[in-house]
Amino acid sequence: MWRKSWVLGVLNIGAFFALLFIAAYRLPGGVAAIVGGLQLLVVVFLASKVLHERMTGRVLVSGAA
C-alpha cells in the first residue's frame, strides 16, 4: 500500500508540476487557454469511454459554456 501511495504521490505532484511548467514555457498563451477551456469536455469524453458514464446534454452544455 505504501509503494502505491508513493508512486501516486510522485506522479500526482512531481510529474504533474514538472510537465505543467514545461508546457507553460513552450506553449503560446492562446493555445494554453484553449486547452484549459476544453479540459472539461476532454474529461467528460474520457469518463464516457473509460468509466462507461453517460454523456448527458446538461454536462455538454455546461462544458461548452
pLDDT value for 33: 85
Give the C-alpha separation, 59 to 64, whole Å.
Answer: 9
Encode pLDDT of 7-61 as tens digits: 888 888 888 888 888 888 888 988 888 888 888 888 888 888 999 888 888 888 8
- Which sign, positive or negative, has the C-alpha torsion 19, 25, 31, 32? positive
pLDDT at 64: 79
User: Could you state, in order of their start, the residue ranges of all structural domains in the chain?
Assistant: 2-64
Positive/negative CA dihedral, 41, 30, 28, 8: negative
pTM (2 d.p.): 0.54
The C-alpha cell that represents 9 in the structure block: 504521490
